[in-house]
Amino acid sequence: MTRPVPLNPHPDRLFPPDPAVRSIARRIYGQIEALPILSPHGHVDARILLDDEPFADPASLLVTPDHYVTRLLHASGVPLAELGVAQGRLSEGQARTAWRALCSNWSVFRGTPVRSWFDTELSAIFGVTERPSAENADALYDQIAECLRDQSFRPRALYRRFNLDVLATTDDPADDLAAHAALRADPAWAGRVIPTFRPDRYLEAARPDWTSALAALSNAADIDTGSYAGYLQALASRRRFFLANGATSSDHSHLDVRTEPLEPAQADRIYRAALAGTASLAESTAFRRHMLFEMARMATEDGLVMTLHPAIRRDHHGPTAAVYGSDTGHDIPIRAEFTRSLQPLLERFGTAAGFQLVLFTTDETVFSREIAPLAGFYPSVYAGAPWWFLDSPEAIRRYRSAVTEIAGFSRTSGFVDDTRAFCSIPARHDLARRVDAGYLAGLVADHRLDEDEAVDTARAMVLDNPRKAFKL
């Protein structure tokens, strides 16, 4: 039997290797390490915190919901079914099988942010002291499962332990937000969980489920969506409902961010054609681009921050989507373009009072060419943090280098974890804080910043920037 290897994340991990710069990074990080976490975009279900039931098992908590984890294991030959994806509540046998697959394939995560996150959460949260392997998989499963039976590992206790200041969920416009309302009304709950308005499927008239989505929207808003005017009224009504329930932003992800407005009569004609099933793909695409512009117009009226993360080819592998559904690890980035695409929207609303737009991308070539210059001119625009395929140490460093010299630090959003895996939240934010501390330390070592300025900037990136960008 192979001797166990210690799991002991180095206290200087992710800091610059130069001893002098590393020493500065340590001091900067020491000032932000324990600051509260603001999570303005994610996919944790609010009902988890409402019900406050024990997490079911280690695999359902740490493996199955996290497509960062399952996609790499799938690429290494592990079927998604073996990982419990789309299986509902797992039996103990299924959960152990998924956990063994993770531990047996631990080497595939070397050099990835997933490995950094896992090292942090396994050691800091669950007290794991051995590197996962095929040999110790069952023992580690039992150790974590024993933790999960303790009251201190219930969702609300972990929320407090993680020092979460605010946690945003992502929600369908027709959702009744009952869990959010019940949480706010619970006298035993002292946290802050807010919804996010995600209208993508209601704007895509070419989707096969578009008409059924409109029926749900109509029912939720109690407004007839049989006309274009009624459709706009229903969307505006649900936005107001989300605001009343604590939302601060709307979230949008389409193939592109082109925002060409249509004449009202033309939009009405395409809407009626789409309802009848006769709209062409080109017409449906034009309608979606028009509606993205309309979302910005509504934002100037109701104040919801508009966040865009375009250029993802969803469900790239049709057979996997058919069996396991969306968000199961096979969404793939494509090239993004912002400057021309957003010009109609920004000419109309870019300097409007109260309007705010956060631009995210998985195409890092646009950080310095497009996003930073836009954020460096328009008072409404913020450069969103690297996320999804870019929330890794090297990509975060490249982002800071690409964006800062053009737009500074104040025009950036703060870190976004975008996770469905609740226990990875503090690990993801800690990685970003360490990398940013190292970047700032380099500026101090180059005598481009004084150390007090670097500390002040680091605190702003953790607290002030997300509060301002997302109106938190």
Contacts of 11 (CB under 8 A, 6+ apart): none
pTM of the model: 0.96
What percent of the chain stands above pLDDT 90? 99
> What is the mean pLDDT of the segment spanning 324-334?
92
d(CA 216, CA 225): 10
Rounded Cα–Cα distance for residues 410 and 412 (Å)? 6
Per-residue pLDDT band at 3 (split at 50, 70, 90): confident
Cβ-contact 313, 334 below 8 angstroms: yes
Above 60 in pLDDT, residue 356? yes
pLDDT (average), residues 404-433: 97
Question: Is 443's pLDDT higher than 70?
Answer: yes
Homologous superfamily (CATH) of 54-153 is uronate isomerase, domain 2, chain A (1.10.2020.10)
CATH 1.10.2020.10 domain locations along the chain: 54-153
pLDDT at 1 over 90: no
User: CA 269 to CA 64: how far, in whole Å?
Assistant: 44
- Answer whether 466's CB lies under 8 Å from 36's CB: no
62, pLDDT greater than 90: yes
DSSP letters, 50-82, are HH-PPP--HHHHHTTT-HHHHHHHHHTT--GGG
CATH architecture for segment(s) 162-469: Alpha-Beta Barrel (3.20)
Q: How confident is the model at residue 448 (pLDDT cuts 50, 70, 90)?
A: very high
From the list 404, 308, 411, the residue with the least C-alpha distance to 361 is 308
- Write out the residue limits of the CATH 3.20.20.140 domain(s) in the chain: 162-469
- Average pLDDT along the chain: 97
